[in-house]
């Protein structure tokens, strides 16, 4: 019985559901508007959500779609939802460079629907996703 309880508690760590996330003392609410299951938006999953192919491709596509001046450098941290149908939406800026630059990045990411949903128990799930983008001399860089 004790062993069963320990195993259950261990695996429940991978079933973390979130309706909000706290980052740096700020609370970010999950956007449930396009969630497949609004009551079960995960932060952690067995197979995490991700951008199709690689982060390198994401960086290439962002560089092709947003021409920044070489004077632009900094880091942008975003939080958004990738639903079970692999749609990215509900973008929120955790840390940005400027409102104008942050909005350009979000608009570009909203057009890139090349995401892969997270997987839990062999099924696609809604997942909150955190993305950190680094910009140096006007170009996105891979981390």
Q: Per-residue confidence at 1, pLDDT binned at 50, 70, 90?
A: very low
**Separation CA 127–CA 87 (nearest Å):** 10
Express each pLDDT in 79-123 by its tens digit: 999 999 999 999 999 999 999 999 999 999 999 988 999 999 999
Q: Per-residue confidence at 55, pLDDT binned at 50, 70, 90?
A: confident
Contact 138, 70 (CB under 8 A): yes
Top-confidence residue, 138 or 3:
138
Structural domain containing residue 34: 2-141
- Is the pLDDT at 8 greater than 70? The verdict is no
Number of domains in the chain: 1
Contact 61, 36 (CB under 8 A): no
Report the number of secondary-structure helices (H) and strands (E) in the chain: 3, 10
CB atoms under 10 Å from CB of 62, counted, come to 19
């Amino acid at each position: 019985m004790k062993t069963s309880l320990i195993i259950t508690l261990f695996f429940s760590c991978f079933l973390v559901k979130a309706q909000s996330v706290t980052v740096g003392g700020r609370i970010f609410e999950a956007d449930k508007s396009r969630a497949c299951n609004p009551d079960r938006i995960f932060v952690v999953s067995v197979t995490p959500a991700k951008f199709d192919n690689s982060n390198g491709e994401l960086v290439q596509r962002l560089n092709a779609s947003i021409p920044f001046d070489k004077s632009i450098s900094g880091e942008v941290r975003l939080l958004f939802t990738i639903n079970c149908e692999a749609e990215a939406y509900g973008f929120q800026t955790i840390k940005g460079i400027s409102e104008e630059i942050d909005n350009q990045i979000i608009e570009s990411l909203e057009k890139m629907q090349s995401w892969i949903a997270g997987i839990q128990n062999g099924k696609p799930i809604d997942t909150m996703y955190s993305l950190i983008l680094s910009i140096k001399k006007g170009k996105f860089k891979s981390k």
